[in-house]
A = this chain, B = another copy of it.
Amino acid sequence: MSEMRKDPVVERWVIITNDALRSPSISREKRIGEDGLDGTDKQRDALCPFCPGNERLCPPEILSNRPDGSSPNDPDWRLRVVPNRSPVMVVEGDLKRMGEGLYDKITGVGANEVIIETPKHGIRQSQMTCDDLENVFWAYRDRMIDLGKDSRLRYVLIYRNQGSAAGATLDHPYSVLMALPIVPAMVQSKIDGAQRHFEYKKRCIYCDILQEEMREQSRIVSESRFFLAIEPFAPRLPFETWIIPKRHISSYIHTEPGEIKDMACMFKEVVSRLDASLGRPAYNCILHSCPAGNTPPGLDQYYHWHMEILPRLTARGGFEWGSGFFINPTSPESAAAFLRGIVL
C-alpha cells in the first residue's frame, strides 16, 4: 500500500507509492505514469485498454453510459468509468495516522479511477461532440457524489492530462479521479483565500472576480448563458484559462442539468480556440470543487467551483520550483484577444 508523507517544514503532502513498476531506476519503457497508467500500452495501440473490445484489460466498470439493453463491460458503450488497474490509492484498509521520529504519515486510503471519455481512440477534446463532453461532465458529478459519501475521503480531485508533455500516458481520451484522505495544499490555499475575502467583504471572491472581468472585458475569452471563460489576472502559464459558473455554486455536485449542457459547449469552444491558436498544445484541466463531506461551516457561501485549463507550452525550470511563482511571457489581455480572434 502507498503512504502519504508530510514535509515537516512546509506541511506539503506527497504520496509515496514505492512501486517497482513506477520506479525511474528501471527502464523507461516499463515505467508507469503519474496517472498510474502503464506506459507500455502506448507502444501497442491495438491493445489500448480503453478501446472498445478490450474491456477485459480493465477492472470491471463502476459506471457507464450505454444504450438500452447493453450489458456492463460489453463493447457498445459511450463512456466508462473503471478503477485504475494499478491504483495509486486503494479504498480497502483503515486510514491510519502514524508518526516516524519527527515526521508524520498516513496510509494511502483513497480511490483512483479512470473516466474513459469516448470509445474513439486518439481524438482530442476539441474533436468530441458537445454530447460526448456532457456525458463526461455528468460522470464527474456522479462519481463525486458517490465518493463524497465515504467519510474517510476529504477531497475528490478530477483532472485531465492531454498529451505526454502534460503527463498523459495513453492517447485514448481519459480523465483521472483521485479521492484523497486529506484536502490538497492548493485547494486549501484557495479555501483560505476565499474565506479571508469573505470575512472582510462578506462576498464570494469568485463572484467579485466575475463582476470585475465583466466590467473590464479585456480578459474574457468567451461568455455563454451560464459560464464565463477568462484568462485570469495573474496567470501562471501563457494562455491559462478558467471556466467559472456565473451563478454562485460552491460544489460542482450542485451544478444543474442545463448548466452542465451549457458547460460542455463552452468547454468545447475554449479547447477548440486553444487547439487552433497554439497548434494542439498539451494541457491539463483541473476541476476545483469544494471538499467533500464535513466542510468548514460557511464554505458554501464563500467557495465557488471553477475549472482551470493549463496549456503546457514551455519546459518549466528551477525558478518556478524554487520560488513557487512563475514567469509568464504572455499577458492575459493579449492571450484573451488572441483566443477571441480565432475563427472556429
Q: A residues near B, CB below 8 A?
A: 5-19, 22-25, 31-36, 88, 100-103, 157, 159-161, 164-168, 176, 178, 180, 184-187, 189-190, 193-194, 197, 205-206, 208-209, 212, 215-216, 232-236, 238-239, 277-278, 284-288, 308, 310-311, 313-332, 334, 338
Please give 14 more A-B residue pairs, beta carbons under 8 A apart, in addition to A24-B330, A35-B317.
Answer: A5-B234, A17-B327, A17-B329, A23-B238, A24-B311, A32-B329, A34-B315, A88-B327, A102-B209, A166-B318, A167-B315, A167-B317, A185-B323, A286-B322
What is the oligomeric copy number?
A: 2
Bound-state Cα–Cα, A342 to B291, Å: 45
- 23 example contacts (A-B, Cβ-Cβ < 8 A) are as follows A7-B234, A8-B209, A10-B189, A12-B236, A13-B234, A13-B325, A14-B236, A16-B331, A24-B238, A24-B329, A25-B277, A31-B314, A36-B327, A102-B209, A159-B318, A168-B317, A176-B319, A180-B323, A189-B324, A284-B317, A285-B318, A286-B318, A310-B321
| Chain B positions within 8 Å of A208 at CB level | 102
| Chain B positions within 8 Å of A209 at CB level | 8, 102
Bound-state Cα–Cα, A313 to B22, Å: 11
Find out whether the CB atom of B319 lies under 8 angstroms from the CB atom of A23. no
Bound-state Cα–Cα, A36 to B329, Å: 10
Q: Distance (Å) between the CB of A25 and the closest chain B CB?
A: 6
Bound-state Cα–Cα, A186 to B208, Å: 27
Bound-state Cα–Cα, A184 to B165, Å: 26
Looking at the complex, which one of B319, B326, B332 makes contact with A35 (CB distance below 8 Å)?
Answer: B319
Q: Which residue of B lies closest to A330 (CB)?
A: B23
Given contacts A14-B327, A157-B323, A310-B321, contact A9 B193 (CB under 8 A): yes
Q: Distance (Å) between the CB of A288 and the closest chain B CB?
A: 7
Find out whether the CB atom of A233 lies under 8 angstroms from the CB atom of B319. no
Find out whether the CB atom of B324 lies under 8 angstroms from the CB atom of A101. no
Looking at the complex, which one of B34, B88, B103 makes contact with A320 (CB distance below 8 Å)?
Answer: B34
Bound-state Cα–Cα, A233 to B3, Å: 12
| Chain B positions within 8 Å of A321 at CB level | 159, 186, 284, 286, 308, 310
Q: Distance (Å) between the CB of A8 and the closest chain B CB?
A: 6
Q: Distance (Å) between the CB of A97 and the closest chain B CB?
A: 15
Bound-state Cα–Cα, A166 to B322, Å: 12
Bound-state Cα–Cα, A197 to B10, Å: 11
Q: Distance (Å) between the CB of A256 and the closest chain B CB?
A: 24
| Chain B positions within 8 Å of A23 at CB level | 238, 329-330, 334
Given contacts A13-B325, A186-B324, A209-B102, contact A284 B318 (CB under 8 A): yes
